[in-house]
Chain A
C-alpha cells in the first residue's frame, strides 16, 4: 500500500513538474511575444514620428517655395519699373536680390532631394518590422517543437535554437528594399 502510494505520489509529482514546466514555457512565450510586440510598437511609433516630421517639412517647403516665387516675380516687376527710370543703384540692388532669389531656388531644389529621406526610413522600418515578426514567429515555433522536458537546458542548446531561428528569419526575410547608405542621389539608367 505504502509502495503504491509512493508510486502514485511519484507520478503526481511528475505531472505537477510537467505542468509547471509547461506553464513556465507558456509564460516565457507570452513574455517573448510581448517583448517583440513592444519592439514592433516602437518601430511603428518611429515611423509615425518620421511621417509627421516629413509632412510638416513638406508643408513648410511648399510655403517657402510659394513665397520665393512671389519674391522672384516682385523683383522682376520692380526691375522693369526701375529700368525705365535708369536708376543704376536700384538696378544694382535688384540684381543682388535676384541672385539671392536664385540661390534660394537652388536650395529648394536640394531640399526636394533631402525630403525624400522619409520614404527611405519608412521602407527600412517596414523591412525591420517584417524581420522582427519573422524572428518572433520562428523562435516561438522552435520553442514549441523542442522537447525541453527532462533535458537540462544547456547554453549550447539555447545558442543552437537562437542560431536556427536567426537563420530561418534571414532566409525567409524579404530582400532589403533600400540599398542607399545616405542621401546621395541615386543612379539613372535608360534602357
Chain B
C-alpha cells in the first residue's frame, strides 16, 4: 500500500512541484495550504510523513510542528521542514520542537526522494 505524505505550503507552485515529485515515486499526497489546513487534514487522515514549509499565513510551519507533536498519533511520525530559511536559530527552534530534518529550498527531486526514503523506508 502506498505511503501517504502531507505536503504543506502556501505556494501553489511549490505544492504542485512537491506533489509531482512524490506522486511520480508512488506516494499518495495530501496537500494543505497552510498550517491550520494541515492540522485539520492531519486529524482526518492517516499520514506517514509531513513535509512542511515554515513561512505561511494563519499558522506557520513551526506552530504546526508543535501542534502535531502534541497529538498522540503524530509523536513519532517524521516531520520534515522544507523552507527557504536556513538560519541556525530557526533551525534550532525546529529541532527543539521535534522536526526530523531540515531541507532548504529549492529542493532537488532526487535528493528529496532519497531523504524521504531514508526517513520512512
A residues neighboring B (CB under 8 Å): 54-55, 58, 62, 65, 109, 112-120, 122-123, 175, 177-180, 183-191
Contact = CB atoms under 8 A, between A and B. Distances in A.
Interface of B: 9, 11-14, 16-17, 20-21, 55, 84-87, 91, 95, 99-111, 115, 118-119
A177 to B, nearest CB: 5
B110 A109 contact: yes
Nearest to A174: B55
Contacts of B85: 177-179
Nearest to B114: A188
B17 A116 contact: yes
Nearest to B86: A179
Given A113-B108, A118-B11, A123-B55, A188 B102 contact: yes
Given A185-B106, A185-B111, A189-B102, A177 B84 contact: yes
A118 B105 CA distance: 11
A116 B16 contact: no
A62 B16 contact: yes
Contacts, number: 100
Contacts of A62: 16, 20
A117 B16 CA distance: 13
A43 B65 CA distance: 32
A116 B107 contact: yes
Given A120-B106, A185-B108, A190 B20 contact: no
A180 B119 contact: no
Contacts of A112: 17, 20-21, 107-109
Given A113-B108, A113-B109, A177-B55, 12 more contacts: A58-B16, A109-B108, A112-B21, A112-B107, A116-B13, A117-B106, A118-B13, A119-B84, A180-B105, A187-B102, A187-B103, A188-B102
Contact of B115 (A54, A118, A120, A190): A190
